[in-house]
Structure formats: structure tokens, C-alpha cells
Amino acid sequence: MSWVLGVLVFWAMAWTLNVRLAGSALSRVRAGRIAVPALFGITLLVLWEGLVRGLGVSPVILPAPTMIGVKIAGSLPILWADFVQTVFKGALTGYVMGCGAGFLVSILIDRSPFLTRGLLPIGNFVAALPIIGIAPIMVMWFGFDWQSKAAVVVIMVFFPVLVNMVAGLQASERMQRDLMATWGASYWQTLFQLRLPAAMPFLFNGLKIATTLALIGAIVAEFFGSPIVGMGFRISTEVGRMSMDMVWAQIAVAALAGSAFYGGVALIERRVTFWHPSQRV
């Protein structure tokens, strides 16, 4: 009982501190903007730990964060092998291929306004579909190893990137394009010096959506058959064996990988589109 009371008190104190922080001058500088959500996150972890211990929740239902941490520290080789199989081989390969294909196809169809008008509604619709269902078919085509996972990822990320990039290529204004024409710029010069830079905010929008989709695709495809390594494989087998600490360890790795992937793309975006109003602070 003391655990429960303790964490509740901690919660109240942390919340009060957060209210103070958010109201103070500190919240306008970078440190404050990181401290407030960090404190919130830590509070959630402490609440979880305290409630699991205080209420005596069985580890089969919900292991405490410290238990999960111990498990992570104790099984780094397995986690690393699964990570390489799913994220590097499956998700990243597919991500690069799918985004590259989406980028190139968008430039190709952009040359024909007719195709653009036809493809945009279809692309938008397909991007909203549960494409994830293609996974069993890809596993049938490309076998159990990472190639089938990469194929699922290619299809999943292709349409969001395509749709955003096509919209991006139309983002430069009529006036700017006319100006390029008066300077006698060729199609390629206009493309590289005006339209591609103008399309970058849209492209990165698509690329950021695609990061999450890539991980989802790679993990789901493993539910339909995989070699005996990989995050999706590990999760589905360890759930069957009721070793929840391993499952949570995988979830933690997946969460870190997903956030790092997204953060990495967002960082590149900031470098590339530094001129865009949304990036100026």
C-alpha cells in the first residue's frame, strides 16, 4: 500500500512542479521545453512501477519497468540480432527503395497533367487503404526472409511519398515558373533550381509518414512467416510463451527505433528546408 501512496504523492508533486515550470520564464527556453515533457514521461514510468509493485500485479500481465530494463540489459545480443533483421534489412531497405520509387515516379507523371489528375485521386485512396493486407501475398512471392518484408514496406511507403511529392511539384507559383521561363531556363533547370526545392517540405511530409509505416510493415510481415529471428517473430513467439518482459523489451526497442527514425528524418528536414516558415523559430 505504501508503494501506491508513495507514487500518488510523487505524481502530485511532479504535476505541481510541471505547472510551475510551464508558467515560469523557463518554459520559453529550450531546456524548459524539454524538461516539462521529460518530467511527465518519468512520472508515468514511476506510476507504472509503483502501481505494479503496490498492487502486486503478476509479471505475466504487466512487468514493472525495472524488470523490463533488466531484461533488456541481459539479452542485448538477441535484441540486436532482431533489430538488424527487422529494421536494417527489412524496414530500411524497403524504405529507401519505396521512397526512391515514389520520388522518381512522381517526377515522371508530373510531365503529363492528364496522368497527374488521374493518379492523384487513386493514389490518395490507395494511401488510405489497409495495404498491410498485402503482406501474406508478398511472403508467398519472396519467401520468409527479409526480402518479403522489404517488399511490403516498398508498397506501403510508395503511395504516401508519391502523393505528397506530386502535390509538392505543383507547389511553386505560376509567377516563379514564368520568371524561370523568361530567363530561358530548360525543363531540367527549372526542375532542379525551382520546383524540387519548393517540393521539399511536401516530400519530407511524406517521408515522415513513411517512417512509421515502414516499421509497421516490416513487423507485420513477420507475423505471416519469418526465419527464426526478427522483432515481429520474437514478439509473437514470446507472447505464446507468456514471457512478457521479453515482449516489452522488444516494444521498447521498437519505440526507440521508431522515434529515432522519425527524429532522424525530421533533423534532415530541418537542414534541407531551413528556409520554410514552419522551420523558423
Closest approach of Cβ 205 to other proteins, in Å?
Answer: 13
Angstrom CA distances, 261 to 6, 65, 69, 209, 234, stand at 36, 23, 22, 11, 21
Number of residues that bind other proteins (CB under 8 A): 63
For 145, phi and psi rounded to 5 degrees?
-75, -170
Q: Quick one: which of 9, 19, 29, 73 contacts other proteins (CB under 8 A)? A: 19
24 binds other proteins per the rule CB under 8 A: no
Which one, of 82, 71, 62, 90, lies nearest residue 233 by Cα?
82
Contacts of 141 (CB under 8 A, 6+ apart): 148, 151
**Smaller CB distance to other proteins: residue 10 or 223?**
223
Residue 136 C-alpha cell reads as 501474406
Closest approach of Cβ 198 to other proteins, in Å?
Answer: 23
C-alpha span between 61 and 111 (Å, rounded): 56
Q: Quick one: which of 51, 72, 132, 185 contacts other proteins (CB under 8 A)? A: 132
Footprint of other proteins on residues 262-281 (CB under 8 A)?
A: 262
In three-state secondary structure terms, 255 is: helix
Largest CA distance in the chain: 79
C-alpha span between 102 and 122 (Å, rounded): 14
146 binds other proteins per the rule CB under 8 A: no
Closest approach of Cβ 172 to other proteins, in Å?
Answer: 22
Footprint of other proteins on residues 221-240 (CB under 8 A)?
A: 223-225, 231-232, 235-236, 239
Q: Which residues would be at the binding site for other proteins (CB under 8 A)?
A: 15, 18-19, 21-23, 27, 33, 36-37, 39-41, 60-62, 114-119, 121-122, 125, 128-130, 132-137, 139-141, 211-212, 215-216, 219-220, 223-225, 231-232, 235-236, 239, 242, 244, 247-248, 250-251, 254-255, 258-259, 261-262
